[in-house]
Amino acid sequence: MKTVLCYGDSNTHGSATVPRPDGRYAPDERWPGVLRAALGPGWLVIEEGLGGRTTVNDDLVEGRERNGSRYLYPCLMSHKPIDIVAIMLGTNDLKARFGKTAWEVAAGVGALVKIVQKSEAGPGGKAPAVLVVCPPPFAPLTGFAEMFANGGAEKSFELAKHYRAMAETAGVRFLDAGSVAKSSPFDGIHLDPEAHLAIGKAVAAEVRKIG
């Protein structure tokens, strides 16, 4: 059995834009669950989504544990051997308090890629393969406008080109989730069920290419 680790934020956790118990989509609705169904019984899909997670930033408002670089290595060690790590992060890096450019957000994802590549958490002590997934650009923000002020929404449209360039430099696969799904008009950031379905299927196609 091969293993895929899905490392992300609230859109990997499954924060719902429609009524659901506890405000979270069911396991088979979330994109990692769609991925699991698409890949079939020969694959183990591990969901590791945390609301508010950044790439490399300590969040002094929501908690230092939101820093994705702090937990990634322990997570890899907990679940090894891991064949593929799919990283979909960057949305929360666009919060106004971090003041980051789109290039800096992509560089943060690149730092996580390096952690995976140096981890020896893959089969036989090798590095897992990495799939970088760029989150879809924001829709018009409802309720989050102040949090993502100072150009956060505009920067979300610039992420894909920087993610792609970073992935090419790092020698890893890249998927622009914005090419298959849109953020929800419900709040402008989270994903509707249809978007989870589309992203899960697109990630499955990339995982099959990696093998």
Question: In which domain, by residue range, is 84 found?
Answer: 2-210
Please report the pLDDT score of residue 211 as a whole number.
83
Read off the pLDDT of residues 27-46 as tens digits, 9 standing for 90 and up. 999 999 999 999 999 999 99
CATH at 53: 3.40.50.1110
Read off the pLDDT of residues 42-93 as tens digits, 9 standing for 90 and up. 999 999 999 999 999 999 999 999 999 999 999 999 999 999 999 999 999 9
Report residue 27 CA to chain centroid gap.
16
Q: What is the mean pLDDT of residues 15-25?
A: 97
Q: Is the pLDDT assigned to residue 143 strictly greater than 90?
A: no
Element (H, E) at 85: strand 84-88
Q: Is the pLDDT assigned to residue 7 strictly greater than 90?
A: yes
How far apart CA 200 and CA 177 sit, in angstroms, is 10
Q: Using a cut of 0.95, tell me whether the model's pTM lies above it.
A: yes
Count up the domains in the chain and report the number: 1
